[in-house]
Amino acid sequence: MSSKVLTGLAKLRASHDLQSRFSGNVGLLCHSASVDTDFKHSVEIFIDMFGEKFKKIYGPQHGFVTDVQDNMIETDHFVHPYFKRPVYSLYSETRIPTDEMLQDIDHLFVDLQDVGTRIYTYIYTLTLLLEKCSEKDIEVIVLDRPNPVDATTIEGNILDTRFSSFVGRHPIPVRHALTMAEVAKMHQKNWASSLANLQIISMENYKREMDWSETGLPYVNPSPNLATPDSCYTFVGTVLFEGTNLSEGRGTTRALEQIGHPRFDPWKYQAHFQSIFEELELAGFQLRPVNFYPMFQKHEHQSCGGYFIHVTDKKKFRPWRVSQVLLKELKTIIPDHFQYKTDAYEYEFDKMAIDLINGDDRFKAWYDRPDAYEFLDQIEEENMNEYLEKRREILLY
């Protein structure tokens, strides 16, 4: 393997010349995964680098300490008892930093570990921050980190902007193949109404095709339910099940790597799914029949029959397509027990969760059609060339 990847944080930490560029007051948007290779947290590093100039900490969804699991569970603002600095939640009564939160800040650093999927909210915390900081003339510095599901493989449909929400603000595919800094560049070039003073501290030794194991970096889960690097891959698809009453494994120790329902017998249909996946030439994974017992969330304290998705070849695995097939087939197999989620999802009360997650409302009709798997090819191709051109213009690596 080549040299270990140096993140933006590691490069800043190692360079006094870089640090000396930031002479004003500093803020930092970060979370539990914001660590260097020695597991030292970026807040500790910023205290060492900037001392009293380091004024404020900001946290995304799941909280600065990454302890909140569910959607629409807000985190509080507080003064950190050890670091002695205010921590402002950007998943609270507001998603956009207020004037008060940004008061006296000259340089706002962003050190978030994203997971490369449109539905994951950290990229929208970043773009909302860019928009607000453009109004306040605050410099935003993105400390770049790897995309854990590689930054070459693109999957899924482009978001229809009629379904824009906090789980999809911009017309990008489900698996977007961008790093955080590249998302910031794409936002500035294509969607920002006014341009922020954006600076990027890029990575060294990073290659776009790398999966997490090839980076040489330690894995710290970026949110409570993404416990392993493999779960970042399966999440690309299993997040779909959040829009249904099928369990995505929340309430277990391996959320988003397994799916199921109390009225489903996985053994009975194992050959059925194997045949479909072979016909569709979907590879790089293995379905293992399981029963799991959620301690909370959907089907709490009930045994759910389902499948654990084992990733066997990350280069071949297409998680979005695999989960679309699973959802469609399960809806057909247990029609009397399948339901779409109908209550609010990420503060959207008028649109169904499945449409927000899919970024399009045409999937529901497709789930009810027999076969017709060519739909996935067709919807993936729509507006993809336009996206690829926008992406090509902003790539850093």
Whose tokens are 């994951």? That residue is: 120
The pLDDT tens digits of the residues spanning 315-331 come to 999 999 999 999 999 99
3-state secondary structure of 304: strand
Whose tokens are 């690097």? That residue is: 229
The pLDDT tens digits of the residues spanning 33-80 come to 999 999 999 999 999 999 999 999 999 999 999 988 877 889 999 999
Domain 229-361: give its CATH architecture.
Answer: Alpha-Beta Complex (3.90)
Tokens found for residue 250: 């929340």
Please tell me the predicted confidence (pLDDT) of residue 307: 99
Q: For residue 201, which of 17, 40, 50, 43 has the smallest C-alpha distance?
A: 17
Task: Please report, in angstroms and rounded to a whole number, the separation of the first and last CA atoms in the chain.
Answer: 18
Q: How far is CA 362 from the centre of its chain?
A: 23
CB neighbours (10 Å) of residue 101?
19
The pLDDT tens digits of the residues spanning 88-116 come to 999 999 999 999 999 999 999 999 999 99
The pLDDT tens digits of the residues spanning 158-200 come to 999 999 999 999 999 999 999 999 999 999 999 998 999 999 9
Q: Which of 64-73, 119-128, 212-221, 292-301 has the lowest mean pLDDT?
A: 64-73
User: What is the Cα–Cα distance from 158 to 386, expressed in whole angstroms?
Assistant: 10
Q: What is the mean pLDDT of residues 286-291?
A: 99
Tokens found for residue 160: 């229809």
Q: What is the mean pLDDT of residues 228-240?
A: 99
Q: What is the mean pLDDT of residues 242-259?
A: 98
Please tell me the predicted confidence (pLDDT) of residue 70: 79
Please tell me the predicted confidence (pLDDT) of residue 4: 95
Q: What is the mean pLDDT of residues 241-258?
A: 98
Q: Which ranges constitute the DSSP H helices of 42-121?
A: 42-50, 99-102
Tokens found for residue 316: 């071949």
Please tell me the predicted confidence (pLDDT) of residue 370: 86
Q: What is the mean pLDDT of residues 324-349?
A: 97
Query: Parallel, antiparallel, or unpaired for β 139-143 and 107-111?
Result: parallel
* Percentage, residues of the chain above pLDDT 90: 96
3-state secondary structure of 42: helix
Kindly tell me if the per-residue pLDDT of 367 is higher than 60: yes
Residue 1 binned pLDDT confidence (cut-offs 50, 70, 90)? very low
Please tell me the predicted confidence (pLDDT) of residue 168: 98
Phi and psi (nearest 5°) for 23?
A: -90, -15
Give, in words, the CATH class of 8-218+388-394: alpha beta
Give all strands of the β-sheet with 86-89 in edge-to-edge order: 78-79, 86-89, 54-59, 26-30, 107-111, 139-143, 197-201
Domain-by-domain residue ranges, the chain?
Answer: 8-218+388-394, 229-361
Q: Average pLDDT, whole number, for the chain?
A: 97
The amino acid at 361:
D
Handedness of CA 271, 276, 280, 283 (dihedral sign): negative
* Percentage, residues of the chain above pLDDT 70: 99
